[in-house]
Amino acid sequence: MIAVYYHSMSENLLVPTVDISAYVTDASAESKAAVARALDIACRTVGFIQIVGHGVPTAATDGLAQAMDDFFGQDLEEKKQWKRPAKENRGYSPPKSESLSYSLGVDPVTRMNDFFEAFNIGSSEADFPGFTDETGDYAANTWPDTPGFEERVSTYFAEARRVAYTLQDAFADALGVDRDVFGAVSDHPINVLRMNNYALPPGSIELGADLTGMGEHTDYGMVTVLWADRVEGLQVLGRDGRWHDVMPAEGALLVNLGDIAARVTNDEWMSTLHRVKPPIVDGTIKRRRSAAFFHDWNADAVIRTLPAMLERAEPVYEPVTVAEHVQAKLRGSRAGVKNTAAAREQARVEAAQVEAAQVEAAQVEAAL
Protein backbone atom coordinates (compact mmCIF):
# COMPACT_ATOMS: atom_id res chain seq x y z
CA MET A 1 0.00 0.00 0.00
CA ILE A 2 1.29 3.48 -0.82
CA ALA A 3 1.09 6.12 1.86
CA VAL A 4 0.50 9.63 0.58
CA TYR A 5 -0.53 12.37 2.95
CA TYR A 6 -0.04 16.08 3.34
CA HIS A 7 2.10 17.64 6.03
CA SER A 8 1.12 21.19 6.91
CA MET A 9 4.30 23.06 7.84
CA SER A 10 2.72 26.51 7.96
CA GLU A 11 -0.44 28.24 6.90
CA ASN A 12 -1.38 27.70 3.24
CA LEU A 13 1.52 25.38 2.39
CA LEU A 14 1.11 21.61 2.33
CA VAL A 15 4.20 19.51 1.72
CA PRO A 16 3.16 16.03 0.57
CA THR A 17 4.70 12.93 2.10
CA VAL A 18 5.22 10.03 -0.30
CA ASP A 19 6.26 6.50 0.58
CA ILE A 20 8.68 5.38 -2.16
CA SER A 21 9.25 1.87 -0.79
CA ALA A 22 7.57 0.34 -3.85
CA TYR A 23 10.56 1.50 -5.91
CA VAL A 24 13.13 0.70 -3.23
CA THR A 25 11.90 -2.89 -2.87
CA ASP A 26 10.99 -3.34 -6.57
CA ALA A 27 7.32 -3.98 -5.78
CA SER A 28 4.54 -4.49 -8.31
CA ALA A 29 4.05 -2.26 -11.34
CA GLU A 30 0.72 -1.16 -9.87
CA SER A 31 2.36 -0.05 -6.63
CA LYS A 32 5.05 1.86 -8.50
CA ALA A 33 2.45 3.56 -10.67
CA ALA A 34 0.67 4.83 -7.56
CA VAL A 35 3.94 6.30 -6.26
CA ALA A 36 4.67 7.90 -9.64
CA ARG A 37 1.24 9.54 -9.68
CA ALA A 38 1.75 10.92 -6.18
CA LEU A 39 5.17 12.31 -7.11
CA ASP A 40 3.78 13.92 -10.26
CA ILE A 41 1.14 15.78 -8.25
CA ALA A 42 3.71 16.92 -5.70
CA CYS A 43 6.15 18.07 -8.40
CA ARG A 44 3.45 20.10 -10.15
CA THR A 45 2.03 21.77 -7.07
CA VAL A 46 4.81 22.24 -4.50
CA GLY A 47 8.19 21.03 -5.77
CA PHE A 48 9.08 19.87 -2.24
CA ILE A 49 8.31 16.37 -0.94
CA GLN A 50 8.82 14.49 2.31
CA ILE A 51 9.86 10.97 1.33
CA VAL A 52 9.64 7.93 3.58
CA GLY A 53 10.34 4.29 2.78
CA HIS A 54 13.67 5.43 1.31
CA GLY A 55 15.69 2.64 2.92
CA VAL A 56 18.54 4.80 4.23
CA PRO A 57 19.77 3.16 7.47
CA THR A 58 19.74 5.26 10.62
CA ALA A 59 23.39 4.27 11.08
CA ALA A 60 24.25 6.11 7.85
CA THR A 61 22.56 9.38 8.87
CA ASP A 62 23.92 9.13 12.41
CA GLY A 63 27.41 8.61 11.01
CA LEU A 64 27.01 11.61 8.72
CA ALA A 65 25.88 13.81 11.62
CA GLN A 66 28.83 12.71 13.74
CA ALA A 67 31.28 13.39 10.91
CA MET A 68 29.84 16.89 10.49
CA ASP A 69 30.06 17.56 14.23
CA ASP A 70 33.66 16.40 14.34
CA PHE A 71 34.74 18.56 11.41
CA PHE A 72 32.72 21.74 12.01
CA GLY A 73 33.57 21.66 15.72
CA GLN A 74 37.19 22.51 14.95
CA ASP A 75 38.70 26.00 15.07
CA LEU A 76 38.07 28.13 11.98
CA GLU A 77 41.74 28.38 11.04
CA GLU A 78 42.03 24.58 11.18
CA LYS A 79 39.07 24.21 8.81
CA LYS A 80 40.33 26.86 6.39
CA GLN A 81 43.25 24.66 5.33
CA TRP A 82 40.73 22.56 3.40
CA LYS A 83 39.52 25.41 1.16
CA ARG A 84 39.55 24.88 -2.60
CA PRO A 85 39.09 27.23 -5.59
CA ALA A 86 35.43 28.25 -5.98
CA LYS A 87 35.07 26.72 -9.47
CA GLU A 88 35.95 23.25 -8.20
CA ASN A 89 32.96 23.14 -5.81
CA ARG A 90 34.92 20.99 -3.36
CA GLY A 91 36.26 21.33 0.16
CA TYR A 92 35.53 23.91 2.83
CA SER A 93 33.60 27.19 2.51
CA PRO A 94 33.97 29.49 5.55
CA PRO A 95 31.05 31.50 6.97
CA LYS A 96 30.05 34.58 4.97
CA SER A 97 32.10 33.54 1.92
CA GLU A 98 29.09 32.90 -0.35
CA SER A 99 25.80 34.51 -1.34
CA LEU A 100 23.30 32.11 -2.90
CA SER A 101 20.97 34.87 -4.09
CA TYR A 102 23.62 35.95 -6.62
CA SER A 103 23.05 32.60 -8.37
CA LEU A 104 19.70 34.13 -9.39
CA GLY A 105 21.15 37.55 -10.19
CA VAL A 106 19.53 39.02 -7.06
CA ASP A 107 21.30 41.23 -4.51
CA PRO A 108 21.18 39.84 -0.95
CA VAL A 109 18.45 41.58 1.05
CA THR A 110 20.92 42.27 3.85
CA ARG A 111 23.84 43.17 1.52
CA MET A 112 25.75 40.56 3.52
CA ASN A 113 26.95 37.13 2.47
CA ASP A 114 25.24 34.04 3.92
CA PHE A 115 26.59 32.98 7.30
CA PHE A 116 26.56 29.18 6.82
CA GLU A 117 29.77 27.20 6.51
CA ALA A 118 29.96 24.12 4.32
CA PHE A 119 32.05 21.21 3.13
CA ASN A 120 31.57 19.69 -0.34
CA ILE A 121 32.48 16.36 -1.84
CA GLY A 122 31.35 15.00 -5.19
CA SER A 123 31.81 12.72 -8.16
CA SER A 124 35.34 12.81 -9.56
CA GLU A 125 36.82 11.76 -12.88
CA ALA A 126 38.24 8.63 -11.23
CA ASP A 127 34.71 7.42 -10.41
CA PHE A 128 34.01 6.78 -14.10
CA PRO A 129 36.55 4.46 -15.76
CA GLY A 130 37.26 5.44 -19.35
CA PHE A 131 35.78 8.91 -18.89
CA THR A 132 37.82 12.09 -19.42
CA ASP A 133 36.81 15.33 -17.71
CA GLU A 134 36.82 17.99 -20.42
CA THR A 135 34.80 20.62 -18.54
CA GLY A 136 36.61 20.81 -15.21
CA ASP A 137 33.53 19.76 -13.25
CA TYR A 138 34.88 16.50 -11.80
CA ALA A 139 37.57 17.65 -9.39
CA ALA A 140 39.12 15.15 -7.01
CA ASN A 141 37.85 15.32 -3.46
CA THR A 142 39.67 16.82 -0.53
CA TRP A 143 39.35 14.75 2.62
CA PRO A 144 40.23 16.38 5.95
CA ASP A 145 42.25 14.38 8.44
CA THR A 146 39.32 14.30 10.90
CA PRO A 147 39.15 10.67 12.13
CA GLY A 148 36.34 8.68 10.48
CA PHE A 149 35.19 11.60 8.31
CA GLU A 150 35.85 10.08 4.88
CA GLU A 151 34.34 6.69 5.75
CA ARG A 152 31.16 8.09 7.31
CA VAL A 153 30.56 10.71 4.64
CA SER A 154 31.25 8.24 1.81
CA THR A 155 28.72 5.81 3.30
CA TYR A 156 25.99 8.43 3.33
CA PHE A 157 26.97 9.70 -0.14
CA ALA A 158 26.34 6.22 -1.57
CA GLU A 159 22.93 6.00 0.13
CA ALA A 160 21.85 9.45 -1.05
CA ARG A 161 23.01 8.66 -4.60
CA ARG A 162 20.89 5.49 -4.57
CA VAL A 163 17.84 7.46 -3.44
CA ALA A 164 18.42 10.08 -6.15
CA TYR A 165 18.57 7.46 -8.91
CA THR A 166 15.50 5.74 -7.48
CA LEU A 167 13.62 9.02 -7.65
CA GLN A 168 14.88 9.66 -11.17
CA ASP A 169 13.36 6.36 -12.31
CA ALA A 170 10.09 7.25 -10.60
CA PHE A 171 10.16 10.70 -12.22
CA ALA A 172 10.61 9.14 -15.65
CA ASP A 173 7.61 6.91 -15.00
CA ALA A 174 5.58 9.89 -13.79
CA LEU A 175 6.36 11.83 -16.97
CA GLY A 176 5.75 8.85 -19.26
CA VAL A 177 9.38 8.88 -20.41
CA ASP A 178 11.54 5.82 -20.98
CA ARG A 179 14.00 5.59 -18.07
CA ASP A 180 16.87 5.33 -20.54
CA VAL A 181 16.21 8.95 -21.60
CA PHE A 182 17.30 10.18 -18.18
CA GLY A 183 19.81 7.38 -17.73
CA ALA A 184 21.72 8.39 -20.87
CA VAL A 185 22.41 11.87 -19.45
CA SER A 186 23.34 10.69 -15.95
CA ASP A 187 25.95 7.95 -16.42
CA HIS A 188 28.74 10.33 -15.29
CA PRO A 189 26.85 12.98 -13.29
CA ILE A 190 28.42 15.84 -11.37
CA ASN A 191 26.78 14.79 -8.13
CA VAL A 192 27.72 16.84 -5.07
CA LEU A 193 27.08 16.36 -1.36
CA ARG A 194 27.13 19.69 0.49
CA MET A 195 27.26 19.51 4.28
CA ASN A 196 26.07 22.76 5.87
CA ASN A 197 26.51 24.10 9.39
CA TYR A 198 24.45 27.11 10.43
CA ALA A 199 26.10 28.61 13.50
CA LEU A 200 28.15 31.67 14.39
CA PRO A 201 30.49 32.33 17.30
CA PRO A 202 29.06 34.74 19.90
CA GLY A 203 29.66 38.38 18.99
CA SER A 204 30.54 37.71 15.34
CA ILE A 205 27.40 39.41 14.06
CA GLU A 206 24.82 41.87 15.33
CA LEU A 207 21.76 39.97 16.43
CA GLY A 208 18.47 41.65 15.65
CA ALA A 209 19.48 42.26 12.04
CA ASP A 210 17.69 40.50 9.19
CA LEU A 211 20.03 37.50 9.25
CA THR A 212 20.34 35.10 6.34
CA GLY A 213 21.69 31.62 6.87
CA MET A 214 21.45 30.87 3.15
CA GLY A 215 19.95 33.28 0.65
CA GLU A 216 17.01 32.58 -1.62
CA HIS A 217 17.88 30.27 -4.49
CA THR A 218 16.80 27.34 -6.61
CA ASP A 219 18.88 24.18 -6.80
CA TYR A 220 20.80 23.61 -10.00
CA GLY A 221 20.25 19.98 -10.93
CA MET A 222 17.55 17.36 -11.43
CA VAL A 223 16.73 16.54 -7.81
CA THR A 224 18.07 17.29 -4.34
CA VAL A 225 17.92 14.80 -1.47
CA LEU A 226 18.19 16.60 1.86
CA TRP A 227 18.95 15.31 5.34
CA ALA A 228 18.50 17.98 8.01
CA ASP A 229 18.05 18.47 11.71
CA ARG A 230 14.46 18.89 12.86
CA VAL A 231 15.19 22.55 13.58
CA GLU A 232 13.41 25.59 12.16
CA GLY A 233 15.05 27.63 9.44
CA LEU A 234 14.28 26.22 5.99
CA GLN A 235 11.67 28.32 4.17
CA VAL A 236 9.95 27.65 0.85
CA LEU A 237 8.35 30.25 -1.43
CA GLY A 238 4.74 29.23 -1.97
CA ARG A 239 2.47 29.99 -4.89
CA ASP A 240 0.96 32.73 -2.72
CA GLY A 241 4.24 34.65 -2.97
CA ARG A 242 5.02 34.18 0.73
CA TRP A 243 7.74 32.29 2.55
CA HIS A 244 6.69 29.23 4.57
CA ASP A 245 8.60 27.20 7.16
CA VAL A 246 9.41 23.58 6.30
CA MET A 247 10.92 20.99 8.63
CA PRO A 248 11.70 17.33 7.90
CA ALA A 249 9.13 14.90 9.24
CA GLU A 250 10.37 12.22 11.62
CA GLY A 251 12.33 9.62 9.63
CA ALA A 252 11.80 11.44 6.33
CA LEU A 253 14.19 12.95 3.82
CA LEU A 254 13.21 16.20 2.15
CA VAL A 255 13.33 16.18 -1.63
CA ASN A 256 13.08 19.16 -3.93
CA LEU A 257 13.33 19.60 -7.66
CA GLY A 258 16.13 21.56 -9.28
CA ASP A 259 16.39 23.69 -12.40
CA ILE A 260 16.97 20.72 -14.71
CA ALA A 261 13.59 19.27 -13.75
CA ALA A 262 11.91 22.61 -14.43
CA ARG A 263 13.66 22.98 -17.78
CA VAL A 264 12.90 19.49 -19.11
CA THR A 265 9.21 19.87 -18.13
CA ASN A 266 8.89 23.43 -19.44
CA ASP A 267 8.07 24.60 -15.89
CA GLU A 268 5.23 22.10 -15.48
CA TRP A 269 7.27 20.80 -12.55
CA MET A 270 8.50 23.36 -10.03
CA SER A 271 12.08 24.21 -9.12
CA THR A 272 10.98 25.86 -5.90
CA LEU A 273 12.74 28.87 -4.43
CA HIS A 274 13.92 28.34 -0.88
CA ARG A 275 16.20 29.90 1.73
CA VAL A 276 17.38 29.42 5.31
CA LYS A 277 16.54 31.98 8.00
CA PRO A 278 18.19 31.27 11.35
CA PRO A 279 16.11 30.61 14.45
CA ILE A 280 17.31 32.79 17.33
CA VAL A 281 16.75 31.60 20.90
CA ASP A 282 17.67 33.73 23.92
CA GLY A 283 19.75 36.07 21.77
CA THR A 284 21.83 33.35 20.10
CA ILE A 285 21.51 31.57 16.79
CA LYS A 286 20.18 28.04 17.17
CA ARG A 287 22.48 25.60 15.41
CA ARG A 288 21.12 23.78 12.38
CA ARG A 289 22.81 21.09 10.26
CA SER A 290 21.87 19.85 6.81
CA ALA A 291 23.38 17.76 4.03
CA ALA A 292 22.11 18.26 0.49
CA PHE A 293 22.86 15.68 -2.20
CA PHE A 294 22.58 17.33 -5.62
CA HIS A 295 21.96 15.00 -8.56
CA ASP A 296 23.08 17.22 -11.44
CA TRP A 297 23.38 14.96 -14.55
CA ASN A 298 26.41 14.76 -16.87
CA ALA A 299 28.34 18.00 -17.33
CA ASP A 300 28.29 17.60 -21.13
CA ALA A 301 24.56 16.76 -21.30
CA VAL A 302 22.29 19.27 -23.03
CA ILE A 303 19.21 20.22 -21.00
CA ARG A 304 16.29 20.23 -23.45
CA THR A 305 12.56 20.39 -22.87
CA LEU A 306 10.87 17.03 -23.39
CA PRO A 307 8.98 16.85 -26.72
CA ALA A 308 5.70 15.96 -24.99
CA MET A 309 5.83 19.23 -23.05
CA LEU A 310 6.27 21.25 -26.22
CA GLU A 311 3.04 19.80 -27.57
CA ARG A 312 1.20 21.74 -24.85
CA ALA A 313 3.08 25.06 -24.76
CA GLU A 314 5.86 27.08 -26.34
CA PRO A 315 9.32 26.52 -24.81
CA VAL A 316 10.27 28.89 -22.00
CA TYR A 317 13.93 27.84 -21.88
CA GLU A 318 16.70 27.65 -24.45
CA PRO A 319 18.85 24.49 -24.51
CA VAL A 320 21.98 24.71 -22.37
CA THR A 321 24.58 22.22 -21.21
CA VAL A 322 24.63 21.17 -17.59
CA ALA A 323 28.16 22.55 -17.24
CA GLU A 324 27.18 25.97 -18.60
CA HIS A 325 24.13 26.13 -16.35
CA VAL A 326 25.91 25.00 -13.17
CA GLN A 327 28.97 27.19 -13.67
CA ALA A 328 26.79 30.29 -14.17
CA LYS A 329 25.09 29.50 -10.86
CA LEU A 330 28.39 28.85 -9.07
CA ARG A 331 29.94 32.07 -10.36
CA GLY A 332 27.04 33.82 -8.68
CA SER A 333 27.02 32.05 -5.33
CA ARG A 334 30.75 31.49 -4.85
CA ALA A 335 32.43 34.25 -6.88
CA GLY A 336 29.88 37.07 -6.53
CA VAL A 337 29.21 37.36 -10.28
CA LYS A 338 25.49 37.90 -10.84
CA ASN A 339 23.85 35.21 -12.95
CA THR A 340 22.14 36.98 -15.86
CA ALA A 341 20.47 33.79 -17.16
CA ALA A 342 17.96 33.35 -14.32
CA ALA A 343 15.37 35.98 -15.20
CA ARG A 344 12.35 33.80 -14.36
CA GLU A 345 13.62 32.91 -10.89
CA GLN A 346 14.77 36.49 -10.27
CA ALA A 347 11.27 37.80 -11.04
CA ARG A 348 9.76 35.41 -8.48
CA VAL A 349 12.18 36.54 -5.76
CA GLU A 350 11.54 40.21 -6.47
CA ALA A 351 7.78 39.64 -6.41
CA ALA A 352 8.14 37.96 -3.01
CA GLN A 353 10.13 40.96 -1.76
CA VAL A 354 7.34 43.29 -2.86
CA GLU A 355 4.76 41.05 -1.18
CA ALA A 356 6.76 41.03 2.07
CA ALA A 357 7.06 44.83 2.03
CA GLN A 358 3.32 45.19 1.49
CA VAL A 359 2.53 42.80 4.35
CA GLU A 360 4.92 44.64 6.67
CA ALA A 361 3.40 48.00 5.72
CA ALA A 362 -0.11 46.68 6.38
CA GLN A 363 0.96 45.36 9.79
CA VAL A 364 2.51 48.72 10.72
CA GLU A 365 -0.62 50.56 9.61
CA ALA A 366 -2.86 48.20 11.58
CA ALA A 367 -0.78 48.80 14.71
CA LEU A 368 -1.21 52.59 14.51
Q: What is the mean pLDDT of residues 50-75?
A: 97
Give the chain's domain count. 1
Identify the CATH number of the domain in which residue 340 sits: 2.60.120.330
Query: For the whole model, what pTM was predicted?
Result: 0.85
Q: Report pLDDT for 231.
A: 85
How confident is residue 10, by pLDDT bands cut at 50, 70 and 90? Answer: very low
Q: What is the mean pLDDT of residues 322-344?
A: 68
pLDDT tens sequence across 335-363: 555 555 666 666 666 666 666 666 656 66
**CA quadruple 141, 273, 177, 49: dihedral sign:** positive
How confident is residue 327, by pLDDT bands cut at 50, 70 and 90? Answer: confident
Give the three-state DSSP class for 234: strand
From residue 291, give the alpha-carbon distance in Å to each of 160, 197, 198, 227, 262. Answer: 10, 9, 11, 5, 22
For the chain, percent of residues with pLDDT exceeding 90 = 59
Q: Report pLDDT for 109.
A: 46
Per-residue DSSP letters for 149-212? Answer: HHHHHHHHHHHHHHHHHHHHHHHHHHHT--HHHHHTT-SSB--EEEEEEE---TTSS-TTS---
The domain of 293 spans 4-367
Q: Report pLDDT for 332.
A: 54
pLDDT tens sequence across 165-194: 999 999 999 999 999 999 999 999 999 999
pLDDT tens sequence across 208-263: 555 666 778 889 899 999 999 988 888 888 878 788 889 889 999 999 999 999 99
Alpha helices (H) in the chain, listed in sequence order: 21-24, 29-45, 58-72, 76-80, 149-175, 179-183, 259-264, 307-310, 322-335, 343-367
